[in-house]
A and B are shown apart, each in its own frame.
Chain A
């Protein structure tokens, strides 16, 4: 065991690199996915079918083809005719992750906007608020907290998907795990360490998303503030409209994309 630990310590720089690359893939992929999600999410809700149909086609295409196929397609096929585009492997990874999870996330955007109570739309119409204004000031602030739990799920899946990067010549955490195994010749030790680090990354991201959710719900007056939750200070009770108590929740499970 002490041998293993010594090898592990020697490989710490590689661990650092691995975590960094995994984080780059995760955050890059997540930002791209978010942009794509809102673009396609709004696109699928557009009045005109010239926006709606292409959006839905793109969404179903990236949801229906596998992430593995997508990432290898970008890596192996894009440099070939007729494209001749040679993407940097990191860009490959971020693009594949962003497109794939962005498509899933767009359904979350669409569904959450549709979930906002009909009365809110009607009140905004009654006040003659313009469509853009209505979305910006009334609907989106209420749809956003609904999106966060499902985004958290997708973010964790994105981190897991980033492990493919090791197979497109990136030195991510998965690559480090294999490096460690080669050094120590101890499969159980190395892979347990690797999995633990993935778990820590996922757990920290989940905590961050949960904090985001608490803050978003608080802005709606539908839950305690982050400070109240962290200090476990007494929470003020909420009345009927839009009520929901938000507490730091464990990672939410079993949700189909």
Chain B
């Protein structure tokens, strides 16, 4: 009977397709995290301004993006910006969505820099740009590395949402294989295991980093 519960042959056959999808997954994660890290830092710095006409709209926008589904945002952007390739849209939306998380990580990291550092910089009459660039940010960024690592892993596990905008990352590859061969069990299970195989050791590394920096 063709209805064997699990076929190792299919498990092996789907693997190369998954690995092709994995390349897109990793690409999306890397580009997305670069965007999120840079944009998040900008947002964090801007939100420290004392101008409420600036901080309030940005604050609201950050909250809005953070609290609404990434999935819906992806579909929205993809429907709207038809002139751009879906992968690019996916990366940008991931980046913006995660920038809202990263801005919070940076905020906490900056706040964790002891007040005495600021005061010493003022006492030495350092210009603001030097204070930020040479004193505060290097210390703040060190604080943010574990958060950055954890969100990178989180984004990696959310790239499957790109299935909704027809980007063939690893999960979509599995689904396509399943749709073509009706062997969903091997396809989706293998995809899940690959996610686990990649994210778990990485999360252990991030935990170790966290302990070392603590």
Contact = CB atoms under 8 A, between A and B. Distances in A.
Query: How extensive is the interface on chain A, given as a class?
Result: 35 or more
A199 B67 CA distance: 6
Interface stretch (B85-93, B117-125, B131-139, B196-204): B196-204
B72 A77 contact: no
A167 B164 contact: yes
Interface in B155-214: 157-158, 160-161, 163-164, 171, 174-175, 178, 184-185, 188-189, 191-193, 195-196, 199-200, 203
A76 B79 contact: no
Contact of B192 (A69, A174, A251): A69
Interface string A58-98: 00110111111110110011001110000000000000000
A63 to B, nearest CB: 8
A223 interface: no
Contacts of A195: 64, 68, 72-73, 76
A198 interface: yes
Contacts of A194: 72
Nearest to B105: A254
A45 interface: no
A77 B174 CA distance: 12
A64 B108 contact: no
A165 to B, nearest CB: 10
Query: How extensive is the interface on chain B, given as a class?
Result: 35 or more
A164 B158 CA distance: 12
Contact of A64 (B70, B73, B184, B196): B196
Nearest to A205: B67
Contacts of B6: 82
Interface of A: 60-61, 63-70, 72-73, 76-77, 80-82, 156, 159-164, 167, 174, 177-178, 181, 187-188, 191, 194-195, 198-199, 202-203, 206, 250-251, 253-257
Interface of B: 3-6, 63-64, 66-73, 75-76, 79-80, 100-105, 107-108, 146-147, 150-151, 154, 157-158, 160-161, 163-164, 171, 174-175, 178, 184-185, 188-189, 191-193, 195-196, 199-200, 203
13 contacts: A61-B196, A68-B163, A73-B189, A77-B189, A162-B69, A174-B69, A187-B79, A187-B80, A194-B72, A202-B67, A251-B67, A256-B147, A256-B150
